[in-house]
Amino acid sequence: MLSCVFLFAMMVVTFVDVVGRYVFLKPLPAGYEIVSLMMPAIIFLALPLSVIRNSHVTVDLLDSFTPKRFAEYRAIVISLICSATMALLAWRLAIRSRDQHRYEEVSDELILELWPFSAAMAALCAMTAVVFLVKFAHQIHGLRPIQDNTK
């Protein structure tokens, strides 16, 4: 839900920037920077929920080559690989956040500290890794898959 708010806000910022630029010859100051900071927010805020809902993009290149009896094992391995990948990404983003904090990195125009953004991305990646681990545990123990009951 929060990613939808950011998406709407990004749309408004882009609209105001374009109208300001072409109608009034005065673009929105730092419009590009605001959109650049909102884009990862949209992506990383939606990531854990998209995994819970199984609404993320999947590629079925191996489905036609893999026998049906191995489909469950393949899903288990994929969940484990995705969890490890998200954990690695969270770790690297946490290191990046620490470095940004240590060296006091700020954005170009708004002079915003950058470390909170990368720290939030690291936390959301870690959350997504945990969701993949829970899916993995459910698959290992033969439990029914995680479902979103908020509908």
Domains of the chain, residue spans:
2-140
Extract the tokens encoding 5. 């708010």
Instruction: Kindly report, residue by residue over 22-79, the tens digit of the pLDDT.
Output: 999 999 999 999 999 999 999 999 999 999 998 888 888 877 887 877 888 888 999 9
DSSP helix, strand, coil percent of the chain (3-state; round to 5): 70, 0, 30
pLDDT of 148 over the 60 cut: no
pLDDT of 11 over the 90 cut: yes
